[in-house]
């Protein structure tokens, strides 16, 4: 695609007068804008492809002890993103929006996705996951709750 833009630029420059530097600068500016738009589109497509490649969603909700250091807890959770089979890893902290149905007893949640059940099993048995689980126990007021589903 980059080659196409270079050819387009060169062809346009040959067709226009080189004495008209304003026209050339305008054309160069337009090529730059198109190049940036293509780069953004490519990034958006990569995100969509990644989502399609990981249809198994996994959510975990954590209830922390009153005196738990939330920052340290989240730092430890971030290690899960290092696991190869984990896709689209996110950490969330509860936000009270005055919805009586909200799971307000859970302070922190994580979300991630997997290509398939085999990738999920790899995650469950990964040494990083097992280490993180052990390191998180002192922070927890109760057992984590999980919810898994296949994207439709």
pLDDT digits (tens, 9 = 90+) for 23-36: 777 878 787 887 78
Q: Tell me: do 81 and 40 sit in the same domain.
A: no
Whether the predicted pLDDT of 128 surpasses 80: yes
Shared-domain flag, residues 65 and 116: yes
Which pLDDT tens digit goes with each residue over 48-84? Answer: 565 567 899 999 999 999 999 999 999 999 999 999 9
Query: In this predicted structure, what is the pLDDT of residue 35?
Result: 79
Per-residue pLDDT averaged across 122-127, rounded?
A: 98
Span 88-95, average pLDDT: 97
Print the domain residue range for 90. 54-150
What percentage of the chain carries pLDDT values higher than 70? Answer: 81
Q: Please tell me the predicted confidence (pLDDT) of residue 10.
A: 55
16 and 29 in one domain? yes
Check which CATH number belongs to the domain holding 136 and give it. Answer: 3.30.70.100
Count of domains for the chain: 2
Distances (CA, A) of 111 to 59, 91, 134: 4, 7, 19
Which residues of the chain form beta strands (DSSP E)?
56-62, 87-93, 108-114, 145-150
Tell whether 45 and 65 lie within a shared domain.
Answer: no
Residues 37 and 84 in one domain: no
60 with 81, same domain: the answer is: yes
Residues 107 and 61 reside in one and the same domain: yes
């Amino acid at each position: 695609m980059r080659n196409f833009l270079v050819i387009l630029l060169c062809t346009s420059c040959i067709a226009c007068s080189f004495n008209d530097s304003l026209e050339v600068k305008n054309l160069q500016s337009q090529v730059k804008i198109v190049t940036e738009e293509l780069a953004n589109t490519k990034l958006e497509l990569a995100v969509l492809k990644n989502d399609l490649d990981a249809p198994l969603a996994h959510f975990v909700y954590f209830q922390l002890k009153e005196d738990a250091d939330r920052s340290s807890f989240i730092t430890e959770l971030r290690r899960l993103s290092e696991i190869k089979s984990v896709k689209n890893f996110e950490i969330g902290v509860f936000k009270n929006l005055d919805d009586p149905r909200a799971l307000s007893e859970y302070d922190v949640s994580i979300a991630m996705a997997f290509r398939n059940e085999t990738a999920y099993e790899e995650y469950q048995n990964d040494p990083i996951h097992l280490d993180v689980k052990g390191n998180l126990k002192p922070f927890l007021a109760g057992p984590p709750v999980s919810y898994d589903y296949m994207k439709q």
